[in-house]
Each structure stands twice: as structure tokens, then as C-alpha cells.
Amino acid sequence: MILSACLVVLGFALLIKGADWMVNGSTMLAKKHRIPDLAIGLTIVAFGTSAPELVVNTVASFEGHSDIVLGNVIGSNNFNLFLILGVVGLIYPITVQSSTVQREIPISFLAAVVFLLLANGYLFYDNIGLSRVDGLVLLLLFFLFLYYIYKQMRADVEVTETPKMEASSKKIWMLIALGLLGLIVGGKLIVDNAVAIASDMGVSEKIIGLTIIAAGTSLPELMTSVVAALKKNSDIAIGNIIGSNIFNILLILSVSSLVNPINFSAIFNMDIYLLLGGTLFLFLAMFTGKKKRLDRWESAILLITFVGYTTFLISKEL
């Protein structure tokens, strides 16, 4: 138990440093190639911070732990949306670009809707769960999302007038690589040891997936977005969260279901509804208070909702 606790602390240290390297390297890359910070946040940073979910879910799917696969993705997305945006918005109100309000947030919402329909067998009227065919559908949607980002980057690069930052490519990619390594290793240390502790306590796989594993694999997003917020880089902070939520559903779930079809329990529907409600709230928040900004009071609502719902989940297990 003491060793596990020490490894969790080490994991936190790696996550914090990895997040710092990731944000610095990604920002330098964006400036060097005149790529908008939002595009970097939606792609490189989002993929990097989603790597722990990909690793954990691939292993869990291969071993047939469907509840962990689903709990990790749904729990991570709710963790990202409610806790991370709640914390980051309290630190520094997040200014959101028009493209994020008009396109990226709706894409995130639609991805969750497609997931809900596929998992419950409503879209193709097949068995409840995610089959390999469902996985291919999600993967196709993921590639369409990447194509959209590519087109968006080209359009933004053409209109931008910001000067290029002269920085060594070797230094930039070393920072990004070290950041990714720190995030992945740190996340794995935390998850493995947290699961070992939780298993000894007799907690169900669903709750482990929705809480401990989801929190552990979302810590890279938390640290990256907090560091970005402290550096007042709203585009990296919001792009990381929205991008990660899209990646988790369209990429992580597609890969997981291609490795092994995923059984779906209807008890997860409530968690998906929460995700949909939170995404809708984020969209509506762009039109209340100061427009196109997540204000502190709106962030507080997200954070309070997360704490209340997590308390409810845990209380049901006790």
C-alpha cells in the first residue's frame, strides 16, 4: 500500500512536468508554423493527453473488461468537461473562439449522441453494445474530424498575419516527446496503483472505470489545461478538452471495439446523458454572461455538478 502511494505521487510529478513540456513544445510548434493554438490543442495535445485512455482501453478490451472500457471513456469525458473546465475556468475565465462555439462543441455533442445510439442498438438495430461494425463507423467519423481540422488549419494559416517563431525543430519535438512520455508514464503509474488499491476495497469495475481510472487517465488533460490556463492560453486549454472528448469517443472507443466487441449495460446511459447535458450547458454558456467566454460562475456550476454526481455514484456502492 505504501509503495503504491509513493508510485502515485511519482505519477503526479511526471504528469505535471510532462504537461508543462507539452504546452511549451506545442505552443512553440504553433508559432513556428503559424498554426493556430486551437488547432494544436485539438490535435497534438488532445491526442497526447488521450494516450493513457488509449493504452488502458486497448488492454481492458483485449482482456474483455467492457465496463472498464466504457467507464473509462465516459468517466474521462465527464471528468474533462465538468471537473477540468470547472477548475480551469475558476483559475482564469476561458475565452472561446467562434469556430469552437459554432463547430467543435457541437461536434463533441454529436459524437456523444452517435455513441449513445450505437451502444443501445438504435442506429443499426443490432445487438446492444459496440460491435466491430460500430467501431468502423466511429473510426470513419474520426477521420472526417481530422479532415475538418486539416481544412480549418489551412484556412487559418492563410489568413493569419502572426510572425513565425524561430525555434529549433529538434528542441520543439524533444519537448513534445518528453511531455508525451511523462504524461503516459505518469498516467499509467497512477492508474495501475490506484486500481490495485481500489480492488482491495472490493469496488466494482464500473465504478473503478468511471472514477479512479477515468480520473487517472484524465490527469494529463487536467495538468495540461491548468498549465495552459496559468499561461493564459485559452485556445490550448479549451482545445485540449474538446479535442480529447472527441478523440475518446471516436478514436478510443473505435479502437477498443475493433480489438474486441464491447458489451453495453444500460446503467451507463445515465452517465452519457450527463455528458450530453454538460456539453449542451457549455454551448449555452457561450451566450450567457460575457459571450464566447466560460465565466467563473459557470465553471463553478460544472464543478459542483461533478462533485455531486461523483458523490452519488460512490454512495450507491457503499
Q: Candidates 3.30.420.140, 1.10.3720.10, 1.20.1420.30, 1.10.275.10; correct CATH number of 2-317? A: 1.20.1420.30
Q: What is the pLDDT of residue 45?
A: 67
Please write down the long-range contacts of 196-202, taking CB distance under 8 Å and 24 or more positions apart.
Answer: 196/4, 197/1, 197/4, 197/5
Residues of the chain with pLDDT under 50: 159-163
The pLDDT tens digits of the residues spanning 36-78 come to: 666 666 666 666 667 777 777 887 888 888 888 898 899 999 9
What is the spatial distance between Cα 188 and Cα 288, in angstroms, rounded to a whole number? Answer: 39
Q: What is the pLDDT of residue 167?
A: 63
Three-state SS for 95?
strand
**Which alpha helices (DSSP H) does the chain contain, by range?**
2-32, 37-40, 46-62, 66-78, 85-91, 98-99, 105-119, 132-159, 169-200, 205-207, 214-230, 234-247, 253-259, 269-285, 296-317
Three-state SS for 94?
strand
Q: What is the pLDDT of residue 160?
A: 47
Q: What is the pLDDT of residue 239?
A: 75
What is the spatial distance between Cα 85 and Cα 145, in angstroms, rounded to a whole number? Answer: 22
For residue 65 the three cell numbers come to: 473488461
Name the nearest CA neighbour of 150 among 47, 43, 51: 43
Q: What is the pLDDT of residue 99?
A: 72
CA–chain centroid gap for 1, Å, is 29
Residues 6 or more apart whose CB falls under 8 angstroms from that of 242 comprise: 42, 46, 100, 104, 105, 108
Q: What is the pLDDT of residue 150?
A: 75
